[in-house]
Amino acid sequence: MWERVKTFASEFFVTGDPLIYGADVSIVITILGIVIGLTYFNKWGWLWREWLTTVDHKKIGIMYILAAFIMLFRGGVDALLMRAQLAAPEMNLLPPDHYNQIFTTHGVIMILFMAMPFMFGLFNVMVPLQIGARDVAYPFLNALSFWLFFSGAMLFNLSFVIGGSPDAGWLAYPPYSGIMHNPGVGQDFYIWGIQISGIGSLMTGINFIVTILKMRAPGMKLMKMPMFPWSVLSSCIAIIFSFPILTATLALLFLDRYAGAHFFTLDGGGNPMMYINLIWMWGHPEVYIIVLPAFGIFSEIVSTFAKKKLFGYKSMVYAMMIISILSFLVWAHHFFTMGSGADVNAFFALTTMLIAIPTGVKVFNWLFTMFRGKITFETPMLWTMGFIPCFIVGGLTGVLLSVAPADFQFHNSYFLVAHFHQVIIGGVVFGYFAGLYYWWPKLFGFKLNERIGKWAFWFWNIGFYLCFMPQYALGLMGMTRRVVTYGWDKGWWEMNLVSTIGAGLMGIAFLFQVWQIVYSVKHLRKDETGDPWNGRTLEWSIPSPAPVYNFATLPHVTSQDEWWEEKQRRLQGHPAPAPVKIEPIHMPKNSGIPIVMSMFWFFTGFGFIFDWLWLAIPGLVGVAACMLVHSFNYDTDYYIPVEEIKRTESAIRGVTS
Amino acid sequence: MQHDMSPSHADKNHGSLKSYTIGFVFSILLTIIPITVVMSGWLAGKASAIILMVTAVLQLVVQLIFFMHLREEKKPRYNLLTLILGLIILLVIVIGSMWIMMYNMVAL
Amino acid sequence: MAQLHDSGLTGHQVSHTEHHDHPDMEEMRTFGFWIYLMTDVIIFGTLFAVYIVLQGNTNGGPGPKDLFQMGGIIASTFILLTSSYTSGLAVLAMHKGNKKALLGWLGATVLLGATFIIMEINEFTHLVHEGATISTSAFLSAFFTLVGTHGLHVLLGLVWMIALMMQIAKRGITPVTKRKVNVISLFWHFLDVVWIFVFTIVYLMGVS
């Protein structure tokens, strides 16, 4: 019996690597710490009522951002391990198979479990406030989306200590990701982790489209909406049309692995290239999905800190909508070398180059907004300033890559690696950081420390260029991506060393950011204005942090920068609008179903990964039961009475006025 | 806020027995035509394929108009807009895959 | 909590009574469901693309002409078309406030849908007995996945429709149950449309 347990455990848990044993110990200690802490301070009920069952978009947003930060740490550690392995020739820090796992998990985590939840977090915390709504269109679905993402992310991260990580790259190309070449459970963790969180992403996409189209404050015509909701809308349009492709494609890969189907296998008439074709139909829109909201954030920040109306509002809107649709017409540029023929390559090279046009329009709009503005350089604006040159260089190398004949040289080299890190770090990560710094006071009611923030910014920026500029050159010198090591005779080691130092600086920058948050909480200086940056849009018209119902009375919008115009009117001596009579507010009730249902999804995924039907089937039954329970429940909302609203308002406004 | 569904508002957009029946008859006809074409073997190759696709698309239109009442949507017509976008992306996926994969010289 | 964006209200002195003129929440939920249907269109589109690309790869095994028995397929097509009609009649009965007729037509739809599913299961078992399984060839993998995904949707629709009938029996015709009936009838028409394309592209073009 004991022997059987031992054999099972040695296969079930990942063994043999001191790094992983260290991680095992730290995971157990962290979980124990959390459990003991919650029990000691008697906080379980609080956690359940206030956070785990919440349907409040602001709290869900904060949970998304917190999860994204943890994932940024995990993905960042992966990156540092890879850079350490490549710092010098013939290093033996990571064995090749472990290296494969690390570059795979780094890519998946950074895109799907860091960028996506960070983005959804910002959607959640800001879109309803900016459009003057009290919640999103489907609060229950919103909570479900979050918990599905969370289950998927946990499932994926579990592969690190149980069963073994996937190792076929972030997009898991077959035939290597097929059962014949990859019989372990790693790829199944990949499929189910992404599948479960992908359903959540899809639902968030639907949710925010409806929220933006149907729930804007009275008077807010689409063309009077702030730019961030516009960017969210364009991003969500790409989500709803691209994520189903991912769902279908991963399902087919699963059928290949689980049911012996022959979609992408080398035998039985399957065609691995079909997978590559399909996955990029999702994969390409995906990168626009994450970068479009960053464009929206920059637009808000530029006009706030230049104290000017955004230049070229309409062209910005059209540019984003065009990018969102055009992103579906370029996918084949990821596999020019597959050999689809000259006409296919020519078409996709042209469409790819076309995307540079609307993107260029946006850059000029930001520059013209700043032109003759009274710019101040607080941290959100700093990140914006860091973004523009970085994204231009990244975008231009993208145009170089789109030239199909030249791509035969660049393909899968470090040139490509440098390019996409430059657009994703320079565009997406800088954008989300800018957004987080900008909206932090609205979320928590205090600003983050500017001085430490500037240190973090400069470490990130200098580290970034040190890390990735040499990689362009390395790519041109012939270094291919995903190599585990290289020889002394290649002449690559100096630049690799510089690159590793740059990565280290970015790691230090992350520590600065953590310190910045801790320091700012410790030396908390409450922002009592609700409008610390002299903002322009509706979210700054209410107290920070916003009360549960956001707006005690709904604002009536007459112009694009409504809050700015309102402040101007008041400065000119117009009286503040007479208070509108407060009425009971209709709000959704909290629900435990989202988290329970997501746990059942987790069990389903885990069961299929290990081919344990005794777990997978009850999991599916649980999912179905949760859906039915929800469908039969008609008691889903309540009214906040006027008395309570008045009490809340006077409590928070009492401080402000 | 309450859900005040005024009757005038709620009673629109659901068609009538007549429109449903017309739609049903059309859809039956549009199914019989392609079946006859294929089973009798009147037309072959491209001509038959065109007839089949045309009747299928007409069937889609019939269902959209008579059963899903797409025509009666109030402005702004977001339902129609998302449908058009969805169909464009659908065509991109299907035709794009066919173009890339079936004229792929390496695969052949 | 929902407001109509183009309600045309301007200025600050709007009386509070107008806060009520939001599109009711049920209409908003129906719109969300419509978008969900569009995402399902894309899922089916992907499966169709896979089927079209891989349909010639029979790996030396049986092809469409060897396998499909059109009699049963044609019958099940007409059954599904009729169920689309009956689900429409259910919506009609609902708007007339006739709960009994509503339940009756929904029941008829469930019966027709169940017949369709049973016929599909029969077809699949027959194919498997012939030795044509999902792992025989790329063509059959794509066939079983595309047709099976549609069948799975129908099956889920049936469970959902039965659950809805129980809710209507208990609560009658309310704004909430009304929206749910509207939504499921949209789903049902949608499945009918998908089937028409399965029938045309997989079956009719397969045997012609």
* Judgement on whether residues B68 and B36 belong to the same structural domain of the protein: yes
Question: CB–CB of B14 and C35 under 8 A?
Answer: no
| Minimal C-alpha gap between B24 and chain C (Å) | 6
Which letter does DSSP use for residue A640 in this model? Answer: E
Q: Under 8 Å CB-to-CB from A4, ≥6 apart: which residues?
A: none
The percent of residues in chain C predicted with pLDDT above 90, rounded, is: 80
* Judgement on whether residues B53 and B87 belong to the same structural domain of the protein: no
The structural architecture, per CATH, of the domain C70-208 is Up-down Bundle (1.20)
* Chain B residues near residue C68 by CB distance under 8 angstroms: none
Using the structure block, give the residue that is written with the tokens 């929902």: C2
pLDDT band at C208 (very low <50, low <70, confident <90, very high): confident
Question: CB–CB of A221 and C135 under 8 A?
Answer: no
The whole-model pTM stands at 0.93
- Alpha-carbon distance of A435 to A227, in angstroms, equals 13
Question: CB–CB of C92 and B49 under 8 A?
Answer: no
Chain B window 44-103: which residues touch A at a Cβ cutoff of 8 Å? 78, 85-86, 88-89, 92-93, 96-97, 99-101, 103
Q: Which of A221, A275, A277 to probe by mutation at the B interface, max B CB count within 10 Å?
A: A277
Question: CB–CB of C46 and A260 under 8 A?
Answer: no
- Give me A534's structure tokens: 């002299």
Comparing CB atoms, the residue among C20, C95, C192 nearest residue B14 is C95
Sign, CA dihedral A263-C118-C203-C188, equals: negative
Q: Which of A262, A265, A636, A639 to probe by mutation at the C interface, max C CB count within 10 Å?
A: A262
Sign, CA dihedral A86-A89-A90-A92, equals: negative
* Chain A residues near residue C43 by CB distance under 8 angstroms: 244-245, 247-248
* Judgement on whether residues B9 and B62 belong to the same structural domain of the protein: yes
* Judgement on whether residues B68 and B92 belong to the same structural domain of the protein: no
* Judgement on whether residues B49 and B1 belong to the same structural domain of the protein: yes
- Give me C16's structure tokens: 């509070």
Chains with 3+ CB–CB pairs under 8 A to C are A, B
Q: Which residues of chain A have a pLDDT value below 50?
A: 656-657
Q: What separation in angstroms does the CA of A164 have from each of A16, A21, A30, A102?
A: 12, 13, 21, 11
- Alpha-carbon distance of A56 to A613, in angstroms, equals 36
Q: Under 8 Å CB-to-CB from A643, ≥6 apart: which residues?
A: none
For chain B, the domain total comes to: 2
Cβ atoms of A415 and A475 within 8 Å: the answer is: yes
**Which pLDDT does position A589 carry in this prediction?**
92
- B15 shares contact with chain C (CB less than 8 Å): yes
Q: Under 8 Å CB-to-CB from A298, ≥6 apart: which residues?
A: A366, A384, A387, A431, A434
* Judgement on whether residues B83 and B51 belong to the same structural domain of the protein: no
**Which pLDDT does position A595 carry in this prediction?**
96
Mean pLDDT of chain C: 88
Which letter does DSSP use for residue A224 in this model? Answer: G
Domains assigned to chain A: 43-580 (1.20.210.10)
Using the structure block, give the residue that is written with the tokens 């604002």: A555
- C175 shares contact with chain A (CB less than 8 Å): no
Question: CB–CB of C88 and B98 under 8 A?
Answer: no
Q: Which of A214, A281, A289, A348 to probe by mutation at the B interface, max B CB count within 10 Å?
A: A281
* Chain A residues near residue C35 by CB distance under 8 angstroms: 206, 209-210, 240
* Chain A residues near residue C12 by CB distance under 8 angstroms: 556, 577-578
To 5 degrees, how large is the angle CA A417–CA A423–CA A425? 90
- Give me C52's structure tokens: 């079209």
Q: Under 8 Å CB-to-CB from A589, ≥6 apart: which residues?
A: A55, A635, A636, A637, A638
Comparing CB atoms, the residue among B3, B83, B89 nearest residue C26 is B3
- C169 shares contact with chain A (CB less than 8 Å): no
Q: Which domain holds residue B60?
A: 1-72
Q: What separation in angstroms does the CA of C202 have from each of A308, B53, C190, C207?
A: 58, 12, 18, 8
Cβ atoms of A325 and B89 within 8 Å: the answer is: no
* Judgement on whether residues B17 and B33 belong to the same structural domain of the protein: yes
Q: How many residues does chain A have?
A: 657
Question: CB–CB of C59 and A262 under 8 A?
Answer: yes
More confident residue, B14 or C131: C131
Question: CB–CB of C142 and A134 under 8 A?
Answer: no
In 3-state terms, chain A is what percent helix, strand and coil (to 5)?
70, 0, 25
To 5 degrees, how large is the angle CA A220–CA A221–CA A227? 80
Q: What separation in angstroms does the CA of A137 have from each of A127, B81, B106, C27, C109?
A: 11, 19, 48, 11, 31
Q: Which residues of chain B have a pLDDT value below 50?
A: 1-11, 107-108
| Nearest C-alpha in C relative to A244 | C43
* Judgement on whether residues B93 and B81 belong to the same structural domain of the protein: yes
Comparing CB atoms, the residue among A241, A255, A587 nearest residue C145 is A255
Question: CB–CB of C193 and B31 under 8 A?
Answer: no
For the beta carbon of residue C86, count every other beta carbon within 10 angstroms: 22
Question: CB–CB of C46 and A245 under 8 A?
Answer: yes
Question: CB–CB of B105 and A281 under 8 A?
Answer: no
Task: Answer whether residue C12 shows pLDDT above 80.
Answer: no
Question: CB–CB of A556 and C6 under 8 A?
Answer: no
CA contacts within 13 A on the Cβ side of A306? 21
* Judgement on whether residues B2 and B28 belong to the same structural domain of the protein: yes
* Judgement on whether residues B26 and B63 belong to the same structural domain of the protein: yes
* Judgement on whether residues B84 and B98 belong to the same structural domain of the protein: yes
Domain boundaries, chain C: 70-208
